[in-house]
Amino acid sequence: MTREAVETLRFPFTSKHPLLPPEEYARLRAESPVAKATLPNGHAVWLVTKHADVRKVLADPRFSREAITRPDAPRLLPVAAGSKSIFVMDPPEHTRLRKLVGRVFTTRQVENLRPRVEELADEMVTAMVQAGPGADLIEHLAQPLPITVICEMLGVPQGDHDLFRGWTDVMLSVGHRSSGQVGEAAGKLRQYLNDLIEAKQADPADDLLTVLITARDEDDSLSTEELLAFAETMLMAGYHATTSEIAHGVLTLAEQPGAIRRLHEHREELPAAVDELLRYSQAGGGVGPIRIALADMEIGGVTIAAGDAVLPCINSANRDEDVFAEAARVDLTRAHNPHLAFGHGIHHCLGAHLGRVELTVALDRMLTHFGEFRVAVPPAELEWSANRAFTRPDTLPLQW
């Protein structure tokens, strides 16, 4: 297919409901799996919507993440410019950092955290029960659980957790805050983390930041700039993404009371259910960071030129009928589930197992304390802010 023959769309799309993908995705998968679109800033980008093609973009090193940190690069969020985060690095620097920081996110290390996650979730859901039916899931569990876990991992004092939440809320707003407000929040977060790193260099503690500060591999170590960027990435991805996934997962389950009843009686099915909820979820918009093609190549029969921006649409890939039987339906016992909610390739999310643990534990504690539950107001009455990078309702009151 020639570049001229491909239609041009305006992105991002809108959806009829926050739990559903935009209708354009299904049409594009069927008719134009690689389509030209225009971002709000006027930059052009190729949307890639089929599962196989999205996997290829995510895995092919010829699609650069680092190139989106250039001042004039296309982007959807204001935080990418000039970033030194592992999130937007290419090899060999990405390989080096991933080796240094990956040791703290092994399955074994995360499983060591599970008892603490269970303790926190149990305390939070117990507080919801004491507050009574109608208590807000966002306030009591979906927000405080991930921010507490991440802050405790980093060694942030309890009294400062709300500061982190406020700063990252501003930094991951979309179009709602001025660049000055975003920059001010980013500066405050960075200064706090810089002070925290200096304090732990002088007085090491039993926490993740200290582990990263002392990480060494053949005389290599993380620079202060790399430490700051990695801590920022952990806070934003580990807090906002998990908060939204808990909210989306609970909303999806609440529409299927029979499924909640079954999970209450068969907890061993929770891991498979969590993966299906992740596949089905629309949190985050399902778009991987924009990549820049480093060479001419072909994706889905379309020629991509060196320098072109490419956006892998993960939510669309996760609804690909060629990969997932009855892809539009929630199947909590789905056996084959190669979803891309945590990405693919060298940038597969370092915190994927931690995210699964937090979502699994949150649902398990809810099932234990609530039994069956439902949303306390008609879903149409929930208010969703349109300015979040990771979508969720402002409040989510539950009945049980």
Kindly state the tokens that stand for 108. 């074994």
- In the chain, DSSP assigns E strands to 8-10, 34-38, 44-48, 63-64, 291-293, 297-299, 302-304, 309-312, 374-375, 398-399
Protein fold of 3-399: Cytochrome p450 (1.10.630)
Helix axes 224-235, 179-202, angle to 10 degrees: 120
- Sequence ranges of the domains in the chain: 3-399
CB neighbour list of residue 333: distance below 8 Å, 6 or more residues apart:
269, 272, 273, 276
Reduce the DSSP state of residue 133 to 3 states and report it: coil
| Nearest residue to 182 via CA among 42, 387, 18, 13 | 387
- pLDDT per residue of the chain (400 residues) written in tens, 0 to 9: 444 445 579 998 988 888 999 999 999 999 999 999 999 888 999 999 999 999 999 999 999 998 888 877 777 665 444 567 788 889 998 998 898 888 888 999 999 999 999 999 999 999 999 999 999 999 999 999 999 999 999 999 989 998 988 888 887 765 556 677 878 988 999 999 999 999 998 999 988 889 888 876 556 788 888 888 888 888 878 888 999 999 999 999 999 889 999 999 999 999 999 999 999 999 877 676 899 999 999 999 999 999 999 999 999 999 999 999 999 999 999 999 999 999 999 999 999 999 999 999 999 999 999 999 999 999 889 999 777 778 899 999 999 9
Is residue 283 within 8 Å of 339, Cβ to Cβ? no
